[in-house]
């Protein structure tokens, strides 16, 4: 058994999304920053590595046939046969069980239930929403405000509704950029859902979400003005930067086409 193949199933390249957990904790923390370092570390290990490592593995099992038809994804551990489906199931359920146990033991019922909700949303996306144009983008985006909420729950009982909306709009626009990259890449036919999208329609949706983000900023003004400024700056970099040759486009291709 080559353990490196199992490490690839955890998809560390996706762990940049943990920034939403960190931001949720930082923005809403009332005490010193150093007090949230330990909880964030435990969340990273239990959530990103264990819970989502297991979920990514289950997703790869579900996608194994379409990945075999893709010129690059066919080299992933499961479609290439380097990891068996039976071993992948065992690996996934072990990681998920450890993640859930750690959430309950360290943080209690509320965060444990949020972890369970992540599993539910992920499985709805994988087995239902993923086959429906545009709904699959929404479902894929939902977990990002949930990550922000996870970070917030480490430090407060307040639910930052407008901030969650801003994160959702950003995540939706990034998901549209991902689809634009995918429909232009060789082998896109391996995912039949992509034939329902055009770059122009996805770009129009991105402009709508940017407008909605600015509207939310106005509604919530002057609260969290610095955060909204960062959010809009990230929007411009990671959403519209995907249209230009350079590091952002390379990041998308590395993250989602390999």
**CA gap 227, 163 in Å, rounded:** 9
Count the alpha carbons within 13 Å of 150 in the hemisphere toward its beta carbon: 31
Are 256 and 230 in a shared domain?
yes
Are 141 and 30 in a shared domain?
yes
Domain total in the chain? 2
pTM of the predicted protein model: 0.90
Are 154 and 164 in a shared domain?
no
pLDDT tens track for 92-145? 999 999 999 999 999 999 999 999 999 999 999 998 998 899 999 999 999 999
Q: What is the mean pLDDT of the chain?
A: 90
Last residue of a domain, one of 134, 158, 182: 158
Are 148 and 179 in a shared domain?
no
Are 252 and 153 in a shared domain?
no
**CA gap 192, 211 in Å, rounded:** 30
Are 216 and 128 in a shared domain?
no
**CA gap 130, 101 in Å, rounded:** 28
**Structural domain harbouring 210:** 160-258
What is the band of 190 on the pLDDT scale with cuts at 50, 70, 90?
low
Q: Residue 80 maps to which CATH number?
A: 1.10.357.140
pLDDT tens track for 157-173? 888 899 999 999 999 99
Last residue of a domain, one of 109, 132, 158: 158
Instruction: Output Rg (C-alpha) for the chain, integer angstroms.
Output: 18
Are 140 and 204 in a shared domain?
no
Chain Cα centroid distance, residue 197: 20
Are 153 and 192 in a shared domain?
no
112 contacts: CB under 8 Å, gap ≥ 6: 100, 103, 104
Are 66 and 28 in a shared domain?
yes
Are 139 and 186 in a shared domain?
no
As a residue count, the chain comes to 258
């Amino acid at each position: 058994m080559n353990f490196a193949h199992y490490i690839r199933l955890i998809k560390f390249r996706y762990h940049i999304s943990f920034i939403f957990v960190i931001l949720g904790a930082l923005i809403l923390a009332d005490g010193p920053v150093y007090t949230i370092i330990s909880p964030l570390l435990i969340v990273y290990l239990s959530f990103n590595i264990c819970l989502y490592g297991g979920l990514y593995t289950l997703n790869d099992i579900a996608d194994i046939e379409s990945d075999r038809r893709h010129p690059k994804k066919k080299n992933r551990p499961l479609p290439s046969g380097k990891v068996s489906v039976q071993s992948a199931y065992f690996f996934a359920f072990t990681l998920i069980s450890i993640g859930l146990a750690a959430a309950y033991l360290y943080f209690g019922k509320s965060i444990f239930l949020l972890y369970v909700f992540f599993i539910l949303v992920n499985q709805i996306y994988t087995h239902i929403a993923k086959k429906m144009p545009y709904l699959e983008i929404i479902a894929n985006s939902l977990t990002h405000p949930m990550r922000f909420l996870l970070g917030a729950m480490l430090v407060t009982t307040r639910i930052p509704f407008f901030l969650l909306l801003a994160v959702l709009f950003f995540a939706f626009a990034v998901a549209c950029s991902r689809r634009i990259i995918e429909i232009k890449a060789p082998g896109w036919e391996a995912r039949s859902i992509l034939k329902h999208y055009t770059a122009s329609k996805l770009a129009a949706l991105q402009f709508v979400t940017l407008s909605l983000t600015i509207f939310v900023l106005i509604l919530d003004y002057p609260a969290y003005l610095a955060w909204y400024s960062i959010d809009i700056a990230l929007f411009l970099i990671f959403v519209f930067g995907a249209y230009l040759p350079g590091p952002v486009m390379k990041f998308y291709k590395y993250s989602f086409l390999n």
